[in-house]
Chain A
Amino acid sequence: VRPPPFAHVAPRSVDEALAHLAEHGDEAKVLAGGQSLLPLMALRLARPAVLVDVTRVPGLDAVGVDPDGWLRIGATARQRAVERSALVAGHLPVLVEAVRHIAHVPIRTQGTVGGSLCHADPAAELPLVAVAIGAELVIAGPGGERVVPAVDFFRGFLETALGPDELLTAVRFPVVTERTAFAELARREGDFAVAAVLAVGGRVWATGAGTVPRELPPDLDDLDLADDLHGTATWRRRVLERLRASVLA
């Protein structure tokens, strides 16, 4: 199905993008790689009137290391570029490992880091990495820039702290000295994950244990899980148990 008609604008700077968002308010939606937004529009689950395409903003896809040693990934950096980046592999190898689990290669060549974070799918890998590693999100808005810790950014199912007049410009990951490990279960390779876990030292965070990534409690019976399309709550608890054991092994 084709999406309903909309206008596509391609600003060349963050300020220009913010001006479009201010002008169109709730009618506008930021377009980056489009790998989640365009399917939603084709299925007519989303009907924005204006798409503000930020992939033409120069430098917004930059990957680098800040003076404080944190790894900075620009919002429109393609997932495939991050996966292949020697810099990322050197600074945060677990991020590369997690990105490899995002859908398939032809999706990752277009999908962006910022797009996945802002879409905030409960099964997505990047929000998990951001929360577990203690990343911070750099957000531009009409009043200037603000920085939000990942743990406060994800609010619920497809819901974030980002305002309709704001734009995520980058995500910053701190230096991690503890051992990290990532594991995921999907029904088929490339499918949305049933659950994924990331260990940092002895602590473990997970998707598939709620609508946002969260740290797993020592006793998984304390999780409030429900039966769903994938299986029963009991089965999901066992999946999480096994995944946790695998990253702590």
Chain B
Amino acid sequence: MTELVVNGRTRHVEVEDRTTLAELLRDHLDLTGTHVGCEHGVCGACTVLLDGEPARSCLVLAAQCDGRRVVTVEGWADGDGKLHPLQAAWREAVAFQCGFCTPGFLATAYDLLRERPTPTEAEVRSHLAANLCRCTGYQPIVEGVLRLAGTPIPPPGCER
């Protein structure tokens, strides 16, 4: 039995030992906003916040998450459905097309803005190199992050 907090809610799950966190989220908790691309840590689509830090959910076992805290894309808006500033900035910048990579980018970009509230464009590109996007060419994603430079970044909605 594994006990973990997902998007602010305590969950108890009983899964096979080989189950990854990504599978746990998608197949057992029905949180299908976490997308699985390469399944070996390269593409970044499955990135979530694990104990507040970005992590590849395809490279963490569910069994390793006992007592830990997970935030998926479903946890970023606040209780009223108001988008997190990062989500809003990307909507304004038209920073996605198919949206497959966006949930993963959220966790990585949040980590950067929390550590460096006014990043340079080079720092944004370097940090976001952890995630692949096949639609946008990255420019609007970088622009969206830069729009938030200088404004304090609030935690995900489910953790406020």
Contacts and interface: CB of A to CB of B under 8 A. Distances in A.
Interface string B141-158: 000000000000000000
Contacts of A31: 61, 64
B40 to A, nearest CB: 4
A2 B20 CA distance: 9
A109 B63 contact: no
Contact of B111 (A2, A34, A105, A188): A105
Given A35-B41, A38-B61, A6 B129 contact: no
A1 interface: yes
Given A4-B18, A5-B18, A7-B17, A106 B130 contact: yes
Given A7-B17, A42-B58, A106 B107 contact: yes
Contacts of A107: 41, 56, 59, 130
Interface string A184-195: 000011100000
Contacts of B59: 34-35, 38-39, 107, 110
Contact of A109 (B50, B58, B127): B50
B19 to A, nearest CB: 8
Contact of A3 (B18, B66, B108, B129): B18
A158 interface: no
The secondary-structure label for the interface of chain B is mixed
Interface in B50-101: 50, 53-56, 58-61, 63-64, 66
Given A39-B40, A109-B50, A8 B63 contact: yes
B64 A109 contact: no
A38 B53 CA distance: 19
Contact of A6 (B17, B54, B55): B17
Interface residues of B, number: 29
B56 to A, nearest CB: 6
Interface in A123-167: none
A100 to B, nearest CB: 10
Nearest to B126: A189
Among A4, A5, A104, A107: residue with most chain B CB under 10 A: A104
A42 B46 CA distance: 15
A4 B18 CA distance: 7
A104 B129 contact: yes
A244 interface: no
Interface string B12-51: 0000111010010000000000000001110010010010
Interface of A: 1-8, 10, 31, 34-35, 38-39, 42-43, 51, 53, 55, 80, 103-107, 109-110, 188-190
